[in-house]
Amino acid sequence: MQRKLPSKVLSQREKILWLKSKTQQEGECWVWLDGLHSQGYGRISTWLHKSQAAHRAMYELAIGPIGKFHVLHECDNKKCINPSHLWLGTQIENIKDMQKKKRNLRHKLTDEDVMQIRRFKLSGITQSELSSAFGVSRQSIWKIISGASRVQI
């Protein structure tokens, strides 16, 4: 299915957002074609010489307010602004919660934890954030990410 402009009346900024990404199929990455931030994210100009990351602008447009959270890429493509590939950094807060509850029961990371750690890392979450979220040392996180441990997962 080809991507279409939404039927509601769009603001100028919304139109720019929509049109400055490469038109792609529904499930694929919508690659930002205009300017980039130094970190590699798409950049959209706003008023007063300010700019905003294009994926954040798209998240707000398509899904809702971001608040103080990070908008993360599930697809590890910083230029992608497909809202279905974006999720809020609140999810790591949920993981923290879950891990805290499980911590009394066990001391080892499950295979699922390991996969989550690798996915979070790709989304730009730091090793120290991951270490505190999962309740393991930064060295353990590093080993998992670098493939020095749990290679089979």
Residues that bind Zn ion (CB under 5 A): 29, 75, 77, 80, 82, 85
- By C-beta, is 122 or 153 nearer to Zn ion? 122
CA distance 49 to 100: 43
Residue 27 beta carbon to Zn ion: minimum distance, rounded to whole angstroms: 9
Nearer to Zn ion among residue 78 and residue 113 (C-beta) = 78
Q: How far apart are CA 118 and CA 101, in angstroms?
A: 21
Give least dist CB 78 to Zn ion, A: 9
What minimum distance in Å lies between the beta carbon of 24 and Zn ion? Answer: 9
Q: Which is nearer to Zn ion, 83 or 135 (CB)?
A: 83
